[in-house]
Structure 1
Amino acid sequence: MNSTVSMMISALIFFFILRGQLSGMNKPLKKSGISLLLPILYISTSFMQLFDPSLHIREEQVIIALVIGMVVSIPLILTTNFEVRDNGSTFIKRNKTVFVLLIVIFVLRFLVVATIKSIDPSTLSFMCNLVTFGYISTWRITSYLKFRGVSSSKQAMMNV
């Protein structure tokens, strides 16, 4: 898979993530909160690159990419919160910083792909997808846990 196709797929996944964030701020999350975990499924489709015979990735590259992704997720985790509104439904708290962070991360990804020439394009593309998987899965799993905490405290308040 060439880097152009990979970046187009990344742009599509990025669009779905932004759309999900925006809809979560404007309409209530379902009781289970499973929709928060869907972006992990979206990005996991990039693992199809493992079938590319031109992919040459080492174990330490995988670990480094995933750790970078986890570090990148920290500001997203800190800025993503949930609130129970007057109607008793749980929403993602409105926060423009999340959108700015996502856009910055996406632009940085494009810049990295455009400037790093020492790694072959398929390996670089896969490493970028691993970084993305690292931050999306860490951010979304933590967000899901935050959501469950807010939802359970809402239930506790309703039972009092």
Structure 2
Amino acid sequence: MNSTVSLMISALIFFFILRGQLSGMRKPLKKSGVTLLLPILYISTSLMQLFDPTLHIREDQVIIALLIGMIVSIPLIVTTNFEVRDDGNTFIKRNKTVFVLLIVIFALRFLAIATIKSIDPGTLSFMCNLITFGYIATWRIISFIKFKAVSSSKQAVLNT
């Protein structure tokens, strides 16, 4: 898969993530919170590149890409919080910083693909997808845990 196709797929995934964030700020999250985990499913489709016989990626590159993704997720984790509003429903707290962070991360991906020439484009594209998978999976799993904590504290208040 060439880098242009990879960037187009990334842009589509990025759109779905932004849409989900906006929706979660306006509409209550469902009680299960499973929708928070959907972006992991979206980005996992990029792992299909593993079946590309021209892909040459080493184990250490995979580990480094995933670790970078986990590190990138830290500001997203810190800025993503949940609140129970007066109607008793749980929403993602309004925070413009999350959108700024996502846009910066996406722009850095474009910049990396455009400037790094020492790695073949297919491998670089896959490494960027691994970084994206690393930060989305980490961010969303921890967000899900935060959501469950807020939801269970809301439930505890309702039960008393």
Please tell me whether residue 78 in structure 1 is matched to residue 81 in structure 2: no
What is the aligned partner in structure 2 of residue 61 from structure 1? 61
Give 3-state SS (helix, strand or coil) of 2:117's partner.
coil
Root-mean-square deviation (CA, aligned residues, Å) is: 0.3
Shift of 1:53: 1.1
Return the letter of the residue paired with 1:15. F
Letter in 2 for 1:122: G
Q: Normalized against structure 1, the TM-score is what?
A: 1.00
State the distance in 1 between where 2:13 and 2:93 align: 22
| Shift in Å, 1:56 | 0.2
**1:114 matches 2:118:** no
Matched, 1:20 2:20: yes
Q: What is the deviation of 1:51?
A: 0.9
What is the 5 A alignment of 1:88-107? 88-107=88-107
Compute the displacement of 1:90 (Å). 0.1
Q: Which runs of 5+ in 2 are unaligned?
A: none
Q: How far apart, CA to CA, are the structure 2 residues paired with 1:95 and 1:16?
A: 18
SS of equivalent to 2:83: strand
Residue 36 of structure 2 is aligned to residue 36 of structure 1 = yes
Q: Matched residue pairs, number?
A: 160
Q: 1:118-129, aligned counterparts within 5 Å?
A: 118-129=118-129
| Per-residue deviation, 1:36 | 0.1
Structure 2 Cα separation of the partners of residues 54 and 114 of structure 1? 20
- Residue by residue over 1:139-159, the C-alpha shift from the partner in whole angstroms, topping out at 9 and shown as x without a partner, is 000000000000000000000
User: Which SS does the other structure have where 1:155 is aligned?
Assistant: helix
In structure 1, the gaps of 5 or more residues are none
Q: Which 4+ stretches in 1 moved above 4 angstroms?
A: none
Write the deviation string for residues 22-80 of structure 1: whole angstroms up to 9, x where unpaired. Answer: 00000000000000000000000001101111100000000000000000000000000
Q: For 1:81, give the aligned amino acid.
A: N
Secondary structure at 2:56's aligned position in 1? coil
Give the TM-score taking structure 2 as reference length.
1.00
Aligned residue for 1:150?
Answer: 150
